[in-house]
Structure 1
Amino acid sequence: MTKHRIYKMSFASVYPHYVTKAEKKGRTKTEVDEIIRWLTGYSEKELETQLENETDFETFFAKAPKLNPSRALIRGVVCGVRVEDIEEPTMQEIRYLDKLIDELAKGKAMENILRKSC
C-alpha cells in the first residue's frame, strides 16, 4: 500500500482495529481513546465527530487541535521502521499512534504510554 493510500484511508476504518488489539490484551476502548486524545488534542466529542465523518488520516492529523509535544519522546520500531527516524510528518504521526497502541496492548502502564514519567 502506498503512502498516499494510507493517508486517504478513513481513520474510522482503522480505529476498530486499535480497539480490538487493545481489548484482546485486556485493555479498554476508553484507554485507546485516551491515547488518541493525548496524542492529538481532540476532545471526546471531537474524536467522535472525526469517526462519524470518516475523516482520512491526513486530515485527522492535519486538523488535530494540539499535537502533544511529548510525542517526540515516542521511540521504537513499528513495521520494521524506527518511528523517530520517519521523515514524512503524517506517516510519523500515524506510526506514533501505532506505537502507543502497541505499548497499550503489551501491558505498559498508561502513565508511561502518555510519557508522564519522562
Structure 2
Amino acid sequence: MAKRVLVVEDNDLNRKLFCDVLRAHGYAVEPVADGRDVVEKAGEFVPGLIIMDIQLPHISGLELIEQIKADKDLRAIPILAVTAYAGTGDEARIRAAGAEGYISKPVSIGPFMEAVNGLV
C-alpha cells in the first residue's frame, strides 16, 4: 500500500507541484487548500505525513500544528512545515508548535523529498 501524505497548501501551483512530485515517488496524496478542513481530512484520510504550509488564510499553519498535536488520534502523525518564513527563530517556533520537519520555500525537489522520506 502506498504511503499516504496530506498536503496542506493554499497556493494552487505549489499544491499541484507537491502532489505531482509525491505521486511520482509512489505516495498516495490528499490535497487540502483550506486550512479549516485539515483536522477533518486528516481523520478521514489517516496520512502517514502531513505537509503543512504555515501561511494559510483563515487559520495559520502553526495553529493547525498545535491542534493536530493536541488531538489524541492525530498527534502521532509527523508534520513537515513548508514555509516562506525563513527568518531567525522561525524554524524554532515552528518546531516548538510540534512540527517534526521544516523546509523553506522556494522548495527544491531533492531536499523536499529527502525531508519527506525522512519522516514517513
Q: TM-score, normalised by structure 1?
A: 0.35
Higher helix share: 1
Instruction: Kindly indicate whether structure 1 or structure 2 has the higher relative contact order, using CA contacts under 8 Å at least 6 residues apart.
Output: 1
TM-score of the superposed pair, with normalisation by structure 2 = 0.35
